[in-house]
A and B are shown apart, each in its own frame.
Chain A
Amino acid sequence: MAKTKVIERKPLTFAEKTFIPQILTGLKTTGKTMFQKNITLQYPDERPSIPDNYRGVPTLVKDPNGREKCVSCQLCEFVCPPKAIRITPGEIDAEAEPDRAHVEKAPKEFDINMLRCIYCGLCQEVCPEEAIFLQDVFSLSGYSRDEMVNNKQKLYELGGTLPDKHYKWDKKKAAEEHGNAH
């Protein structure tokens, strides 16, 4: 059992009863803060520095070779708790990227409804291809509900390119050249 410590409370002195010394101390404190540096961030002009692990708006990223990383596996669509993601899987154009075509898929449409998204980051966590990231965009606004749905193009625009640890396709090519396709 905790020991109770009784603190004796002294009766107020006459000066304290008039409040005046306390008021003066208070005035001194506020007077001092008046000359301290302001802590306001002038927001639209100055931006806060965003830490790397910040969970902002979910975005799609490309690898440094400009390849689309998402393979439209739809795991993120399944895991998303508020069902904000809607993916329409599609084929990769065989003309443009003969390497990848018929090997993996790519999303035809990729919509994230930002009115539903709760910024939980599960999509980033679940993605096997490290294609979707919650980055530093934190202020999103629009005039209509439609505007708040980020489509594929917008998602790539927001996401840009992130450094890649794997270079899956480069490795695959190198392996092929050494005569070991798998």
Chain B
Amino acid sequence: MDYIAILLPIAFALTMISVFMGLCSYSVLAERKVSSWIQGRVGPNRTRLPLIGHIPILGNLLTGLGIFQPAADGLKFLFKEEITPGHVNKFYYYLAPVVALAPALTTMVVLPFGRYVDPSGVVQPLVLANIEIGMLFILGISSLGVYGIVLAGWSSNSKYPFLGAIRSSAQMISYELAMGLAILPVFMWSAAPGSEHGMSLFGVIESQKTLWLVIWQPLSALIFLVAVFAETNRLPFDMAESETDLVGGFHTEYGCFKFGLFFVAEYAHVIMGSALFVCLFLGGWNFLPGLADPWSDNTFGAVLSVLWFMAKVFFMIFFFIWVRWTLPRFRYDQVMSLGWKILLPLAIGNLVFNTLLIAAYDHFAQ
């Protein structure tokens, strides 16, 4: 009995990590495929696994879609020669990739990805840890991700990685402000006094049963989206990597699996960012705005809700990739002035406006 209580969470956590890592590797594939389609190319279409790849029609189809490519990519990173440059600070150099990946994996603990109805008829979230301060936890942990980049840049002891690290840390700090301020109105509406959910993401999703927040808080959604792009260091904000001027940025000195970890961390951040956006603004697993959820109360309904949530997340990941291959990179000072001079005042204005709105609502509704 006690064993089960201990083993079950571990099993859940392991499952979630493996699913998440699978998603990471497949979003790398998605990135490669979508970028090639946008550029009129074909993308990876050669890797073929022995048995599945030789099923007559299906095998060719999967191979053409590059479904087996992530395995080849991962193996390549594993089998490469492990090179450590002589001029690095060994301890931090090895620590940095781990520090970059760990926060992204930690935040997924509080991410609700589906819902089920428990025997007493109450809707419960499918989540590893349904804590009250979910959103605060995510904001707190995910900002630790910048340490990975800073440590990598500093310990590499070489100027381009160092520049990349400095840039990205400045950028992440600036956009975190706007990000935090952008989601405050969301919680002001969803976690009104007396609501039982507090800052948990489950509460936000439940509050979007009828109307998604992106529809009536478009400004918050926009600011949050831009900030997520900046936080995940994706184009058009990939200051940390900007290949053209920084030779790859903070991971210039990294090779083989250490680079692979950075790579996975980047996509883990993208997935987390997409999932967060879906939770906060796209109604989580709620079906469509204005329509009641068609998910039934049994296990099948729970599975459907998870799938619907995943579909939305996949769309967001696709959107991230789409934007990456559409927009050119901002200049560094433009990134900074966009963050401090536009997004931050906008977010503050949005907050004040919503506060006044809530005050007026409370005043006149009574």
Q: Which A residues are closer than 8 A to B by beta carbons?
A: 23, 26-27, 29-31, 33-40, 42
Contact = CB atoms under 8 A, between A and B. Distances in A.
A28 B34 CA distance: 14
A34 B30 CA distance: 13
Contacts of B36: 38
Nearest to A36: B40
Given A34-B38, A37-B40, 18 more contacts: A23-B323, A23-B327, A26-B326, A26-B327, A27-B326, A29-B326, A30-B38, A30-B322, A31-B322, A33-B37, A33-B38, A33-B39, A35-B37, A38-B37, A38-B40, A38-B42, A40-B40, A40-B41
A34 B34 contact: yes
Contacts, number: 35
A33 to B, nearest CB: 6
A27 B41 CA distance: 18
Contacts of A37: 40
24 contacts: A23-B323, A23-B327, A26-B326, A26-B327, A27-B322, A27-B326, A30-B322, A30-B326, A31-B322, A33-B37, A33-B39, A33-B40, A34-B34, A34-B37, A35-B37, A36-B40, A38-B36, A38-B40, A38-B41, A38-B42, A39-B40, A39-B41, A40-B40, A40-B41
B326 A40 contact: no
A41 to B, nearest CB: 10
**Closest 9 A-B residue pairs measured CB to CB?**
A26-B326, A40-B42, A30-B326, A34-B37, A30-B38, A39-B40, A40-B41, A38-B42, A34-B38
A36 B36 CA distance: 11
Interface of B: 34, 36-42, 322-323, 325-327
A10 B57 CA distance: 57
Contacts of B39: 33
A14 to B, nearest CB: 13
Contacts of A34: 34, 37-38
Contacts of A36: 40
A30 B40 contact: no
B182 to A, nearest CB: 16
Contacts of A40: 40-42
A34 B36 CA distance: 8
Contacts of A39: 40-41
A27 B40 contact: no
Contacts of A38: 36-37, 40-42
Nearest to A40: B42
Contacts of B322: 27, 30-31
A23 B326 contact: yes
A27 B36 CA distance: 15
A30 B325 contact: yes
A34 B327 CA distance: 15
A66 B351 CA distance: 89
A26 to B, nearest CB: 4
Contacts of B326: 23, 26-27, 29-30
A37 B37 CA distance: 9
A27 to B, nearest CB: 5
A37 to B, nearest CB: 8
Most chain B Cβ neighbours within 10 Å, of A27, A29, A34? A34
A29 B326 CA distance: 8
Contact of B42 (A23, A27, A33, A42): A42
Nearest to A23: B327
A6 B327 CA distance: 30
B51 to A, nearest CB: 23
Nearest to B37: A34
A35 B41 CA distance: 11
Contacts of B41: 38-40
A155 B238 CA distance: 53
A97 to B, nearest CB: 50
A36 B38 CA distance: 9
